[in-house]
Structure 1
């Protein structure tokens, strides 16, 4: 009688091999999902970045381009929650190739003080101009009209968003104010030393902290001045009670 473990055609052995292969495929599929990134390759044949005026610091100049397939900007100050998983390259009509480093929405403020969102804007650090894609605007429901030397852009409700005059180089550009009130990713806030130790000790009271320092009850706590600062977590907890 042959040893069952040496039988290559044994049904039990084949079943085990099949189970192993299936498990390997599932693991590989899960790993691919975890490592998935949005890779974008743009080919802007009719867009010539060198013909666009480079924006200076604090300049909110945007070009309305019918050749660009997507909105894009090289100013990191315009982005708040940048999705850095979006990567890729963009190739322009002058055969220049530059990298895409993320995607985000940008909030603008119109002349009436209302906020408007420009969604899916690619962040391209080497791009020295800001471009609004008219094709992408049309896909989102906007209405683009060109008459005489003017270009007008209306939203899906018929509200005027942009009115630009054609420049000497036959391009349409407009100044748009970016709402920077929510750009928290570029703001740095630091807490005091006493606030840090207050949080480390599970939001203990300030008087208790002073007693702990004076009597040296806790080992390792520095000899510091306990500042009277407002703790948002403590306020929220007391508000709930």
Structure 2
């Protein structure tokens, strides 16, 4: 019995055949007729499967009991529009592009294929190529499905009715370009851009919101420190307030953290790109970087944080069944808790721990929207007045000091 690596070419057989059932993958046990040998004896075809060696895959190889050789059918190659060329001591099988798929030698009266000698750095496909009309017909029938997925359907026999051909894209599909176009991804930098807090601040203005907040605000100014990913949120009634709020924030933060801000990174909107902001930044020596127009990926740090905050706030409002005008309180609470709970991938610490250089305490955290009671310490209480007022918890103070007990 020859090994599974050695195959012979036979011009008389109409199927690829083997007598080694153990080399067949995806085997299907199905009677498919009989094979007549040269001595006028017959042997049944008991099933079929695939032969795979490295990247070489031969589809639908018949299993014939008692067959002493592994046989490739020349006729089956030709039926797939492959070119089989035989010489005195060698042969080759090529596809329509002239690429050699199989190459072998002649031993006595047999042409031999050794799959171990076939190049395994590329996929050898014995399927004939679909015509351009067939390829684009099935591409459109399958709702403009990617050609790679179409070929996977064929190779995996996952559907019925799709011709067993190799489908290739020969030109651009204009409809796909219009309907599936997306922004090119911006890969993260392998090395960090900053080495200390406040070296680079990312800023973005989110809004306007359809519902005004409890304090009449419609916009969220989101500020993210590049080094620690610590986040600040400021709520505005209109875009015109941005310069004043931004300048006040820069002054306060630099004093509180005793560190200078070196670079701001924003988009090109007028709330950031105006004379008042530029004059202040120039006077204190802060550089201002702008992302390219219609390229929010360049300001992706704060864009992603916007989404995280809004999604968390939306979820909290939904869970608590509170009215939408409390969205600002929900965003503020989400920002507060995420600064103390999210983990920085590089440092394995929370943003609060990185920027304040101490471990945060979270044991006083409560569920947003839960029922709470506040001590009633008014002076005009009588003996039987309630000592606590009932309320709903909607956030944490940005100025009160938390004392750990």
TM-score by length of structure 2 reads 0.27
Bigger radius of gyration among the two: 2
Higher relative contact order (CA 8 A, sep 6+): 1
TM-score by length of structure 1 reads 0.45
